[in-house]
């Protein structure tokens, strides 16, 4: 993702008027802000003048006017853009996007076809993978969504890499001028199996195909069509993301103490006094100081009890040429 068109040559330059900045307020709170010399950003932490951001490097910590709070000013990467973009449709998230970019074997200079632009979440990552000389052709059947996506890509500096067109790919297939031109192709459609014949005409030999489908019945029919149209090395996967929560907790370090019956307050005071006096036990070996309940504070990690479950199935296949 680029801040402005000229950022391609100098991605580490300071923040400038007109740049897109991701304002980080917290782990689960980020917003996309277009910098304006006369603009202000207001949140619960205070008021921030845009003119004070200009000239600062991305990654800077900005303090509010009254000094009561701060935010981080981050460069708009595809991963952060996915977290803050306006949803016009359901979108793909980082876990699925990472697998798509990896298994489509994308590289700088590659040509990618996409059908189902939606909110542009995946498209932005595709563009970064093929930059600076590659091309992403993305198609959206809904005219207004296609127009909004094209405007966003241009505003975010991706206009040279991404071309958006309004077209019903399920009904009409990909344009003839793209036949034999694609190194990779991605479908996010209700009926991807209907587009496989057109995809076979577009993907070059040894090129990769991917479809995203929420239902296994869609996967089954798509795989049948892929097998009938010269695709091999088919694989389907479901990506489930599990996050861990890291925190400090009191843990029992003495097994016998933790399994013993509860003590009365009087017994606990006696034990604590004896420990402080250093008596008891015959004096054999060094004595360890421990809390009265035999516990210690430790850093632990456990799975977060909530999160996204099933999103969809990713089906990959490779275009091959059969020799008789």
Domain ranges, residue 153: 80-240+309-319
One domain for residues 174 and 46 = no
The whole-number pLDDT of residue 218 equals: 97
Residue 180 is assigned to a ligand binding site: no
120 in a labelled binding site:
yes
| Same domain assignment for residues 37 and 141 | no
pLDDT value for 265: 60
pLDDT tens-digit map of 44-84: 889 999 999 999 999 999 999 988 899 999 999 999 999 99
* Spans of the chain, pLDDT less than 70: 1-11, 251-295, 306-309, 323-324
Q: Structural domain tally of the chain?
A: 3
Same domain, 228 and 250: no
Any domain includes 275:
no
Same domain, 91 and 194: yes
CA distances from 109 to 42, 104, 136, 182 (A): 41, 14, 10, 11
The response to whether 119 counts as a known ligand-binding position is: yes
Residues 157 and 210 in one domain: yes
Q: Taken in order 205, 137, 80, 118, is the CA torsion positive or negative?
A: negative
Residues 21 and 94 in one domain: no
Phi, psi of 236 (to 5 degrees): -125, 135
Rounded CA-CA distance 96/78 in Å is: 13
State whether 102 and 213 are in the same domain. Answer: yes
pLDDT of residue 134: 97
Say if 149 falls within a structural domain. yes
Q: Domain check: are 165 and 314 in the same one?
A: yes
Whether residues 223 and 112 share a domain: the answer is: yes
Helix, strand, coil fractions of the chain, as percent rounded to 5: 30, 30, 40
Would the pTM of this model clear 0.85, i.e. be above it? no
Do 117 and 196 share a domain, yes or no? yes
The pLDDT value given to residue 288:
44
> Are 239 and 95 in contact, with CB atoms under 8 Å apart?
yes
Residues 175 and 30 in one domain: no
pLDDT at 308: 62
Residue 274 counted as domain residue: no
Q: What gap in Å lies between CA 71 and CA 150, rounded to an integer?
A: 30
Residues 46 and 113 in one domain: no
């Amino acid at each position: 993702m680029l801040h402005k068109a000229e950022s391609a040559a100098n991605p580490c330059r300071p923040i400038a008027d007109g740049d897109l900045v991701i304002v980080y307020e917290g782990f689960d709170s980020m917003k996309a802000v277009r910098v304006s010399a006369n603009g202000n950003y207001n949140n619960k932490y205070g008021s921030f003048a845009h003119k004070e951001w200009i000239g600062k490097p991305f990654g800077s910590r900005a303090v509010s006017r009254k000094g009561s709070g701060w935010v981080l000013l981050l460069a708009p990467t595809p991963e952060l853009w996915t977290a803050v973009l306006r949803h016009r449709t359901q979108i793909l998230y980082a876990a699925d996007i990472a697998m798509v970019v990896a298994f489509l074997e994308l590289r700088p200079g590659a040509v990618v076809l996409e059908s189902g632009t939606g909110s542009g979440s995946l498209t932005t990552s595709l563009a970064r993978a093929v930059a600076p000389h590659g091309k992403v052709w993305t198609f959206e059947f809904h005219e207004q969504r296609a127009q909004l996506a094209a405007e966003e890509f241009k505003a975010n500096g991706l206009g040279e890499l991404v071309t958006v067109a309004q077209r019903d790919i399920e009904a009409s297939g990909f344009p003839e001028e793209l036949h034999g031109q694609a190194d990779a192709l991605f479908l996010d459609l209700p009926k991807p199996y209907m587009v496989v014949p057109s995809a076979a005409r577009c993907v070059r030999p040894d090129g990769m195909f991917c479809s995203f489908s929420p239902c296994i019945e869609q996967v089954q029919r798509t795989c049948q069509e892929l097998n009938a149209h010269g695709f091999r090395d088919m694989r389907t996967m479901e990506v489930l993301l599990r996050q861990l929560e890291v925190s400090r907790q009191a843990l029992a370090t003495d097994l016998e103490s933790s399994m013993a019956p509860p003590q009365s307050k009087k017994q606990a005071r006696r034990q604590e006094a004896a420990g402080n006096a250093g008596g008891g036990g015959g004096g054999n070996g060094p004595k360890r100081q421990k809390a009265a309940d035999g516990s210690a504070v430790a850093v632990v990690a456990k799975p977060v009890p909530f999160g996204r479950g099933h999103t969809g199935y990713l089906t990959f296949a490779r275009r091959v040429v059969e020799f008789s």
